[in-house]
Amino acid sequence: MLKIHREPFIQEIREDWILDKGLQLFIKREDVIHPQVSGNKWRKLKYNLLEARNQGKSTLLTFGGAYSNHIYATAAAAAAAGYQSIGIIRGEELADKPLNQTLRFAVETCGMRLHFVTREAYRKKNEADYINKLTEKFGSFYLIPEGGTNALAIKGAQEIVDEKTKEFDVLALSVGTGGTVSGVISAAATTQHVIGFSALKGDFLIDEVKQLLEDNCKGRFTNWEIETNYHFGGYAKHTEVLVDFIKNFEDKHHIPIEPIYTGKMLFGLFDKIKQDHFPPRTKVLAIHTGGLQGKKIRD
Ligand SMILES: *Cc1c(COP(=O)(O)O)cnc(C)c1O
């Protein structure tokens, strides 16, 4: 069972120019939930770990890139809850190189077993044949897909929306695979509006989220949108402007954020507020989904 290290809490982001517009901006600190299994990854893993136990599985297997928050969190969650773990890592060439901080943590601190595969093999990660081959190689395991998104992850992400969270008009959060935002959309009150800020370039996530909601959540949801204009060049890419924004935000509010997910979301949210996207008296809640392990590595 995955334990909560610290209960997430809501705090105000006070800036005069925001108050002058008659708006209130708050942030929900999901990043504090666990020091290693941070933010939305904790939410997404919670029911998967319980399901693994119910199925009698003692090993978790998942997929990710070399800097993946999901690999880091899965390795830590497995170690904390008493599972073995295997990480299938994209990039065969990495096998001969020294491990980066993310992978070193997974292996040395958490005991994750890594298996590096070519990009071609990695693309087969959702194919039954390939999964069977992995079972032959590693024995029985509980499979968690890349990024951790599945029905149980969405169920866990729904728990981000508690009673206090429902007091806000707008919920804003970052989107990678769409699992977390699908949970938030499906758990939000019908009067709330959810804005997911895509961390990836392109607008394919709009359809992905539609599909995730259709496949996993009962009901029809119209209370959401995916904002695709704040990717800063694509996944894990950033610009000087974004880095400056993050520095300023951290100096002013003493809340750590990273440039891959929450930094982009907050930049986009500030920009929308500047453009008077929200009417006066709107109460906005940004959700800090964590992921701070990625920060140390890249800036
Ligand atoms: C993984 C991650 C996301 C994206 O979550 P999805 O459920 O894949 O959309 C957002 N923020 C942080 C910090 C993450 O690590």
Q: What is the pLDDT of residue 1?
A: 82
Q: What is the pLDDT of residue 295?
A: 79
pLDDT tens-digit readout, 200-213: 999 999 999 999 99
Distances (CA, A) of 7 to 31, 33, 34, 72, 284: 10, 6, 9, 21, 20
CB contact burial 115-154 (16+ within 10 A = b; e otherwise):
bbbeeeebeebeeeebeeebeeeeeebbbbbbbbbbbbbb
Distance CA(194)–CA(31), nearest Å, equals 19
Q: Which residues line ligand 1 (CB under 6 A)?
A: 39-41, 69-70, 147, 149, 174-181, 261-262, 289-291
Among 150, 174, 287, the mutation site with the greatest number of ligand 1 atoms within 8 A of its Cβ is: 174
Contacts of 282 (CB under 8 A, 6+ apart): 23, 24, 169, 170
pLDDT tens-digit readout, 229-271: 999 999 999 999 999 999 999 999 999 999 999 999 999 999 9
Mean pLDDT of 54-66: 98
User: Distance from the CA of 177 to the center of ligand 1, in angstroms?
Assistant: 7
Report the nearest-CA residue for atom 3 of ligand 1.
Answer: 176
Tokens 């500047």 -> residue: 274
Distance CA(260)–CA(257), nearest Å, equals 9
Q: Which residues pair with 87 in a beta bridge?
A: 62, 114
pLDDT tens-digit readout, 18-52: 999 999 999 999 999 999 998 999 999 999 999 99
Q: What is the pLDDT of residue 94?
A: 96
pLDDT tens-digit readout, 71-107: 999 999 999 999 999 999 999 999 999 999 999 999 9
Q: What is the pLDDT of residue 246?
A: 97
Q: In percent, how much of the chain has pLDDT > 70?
A: 98
User: Distance from the CA of 158 to the center of ligand 1, in angstroms?
Assistant: 14
Q: How many CB atoms lie within 10 A of CB 283?
A: 14
What is the value of pTM for the model shown? 0.97
Q: What is the token pair recorded at 93? A: 């060439």
Give the end-to-end CA distance of the chain in Å, rounded to a whole number. Answer: 34
Report the nearest-CA residue for atom 5 of ligand 1.
Answer: 176
The 3 state secondary structure assigned to 32-54 is HHCCCCCCHHHHHHHHHHHHHHH
pLDDT exceeds cutoff 70 at 185: yes
Report the nearest-CA residue for atom 2 of ligand 1.
Answer: 176
- Which domains are assigned to the chain? 10-35+158-295 (3.40.50.1100), 40-148 (3.40.50.1100)
Q: What is the pLDDT of residue 299?
A: 41
- Sign for the CA dihedral angle at 78, 296, 299, 38 comes to positive
Q: What is the pLDDT of residue 297?
A: 41
Q: What is the pLDDT of residue 296?
A: 56
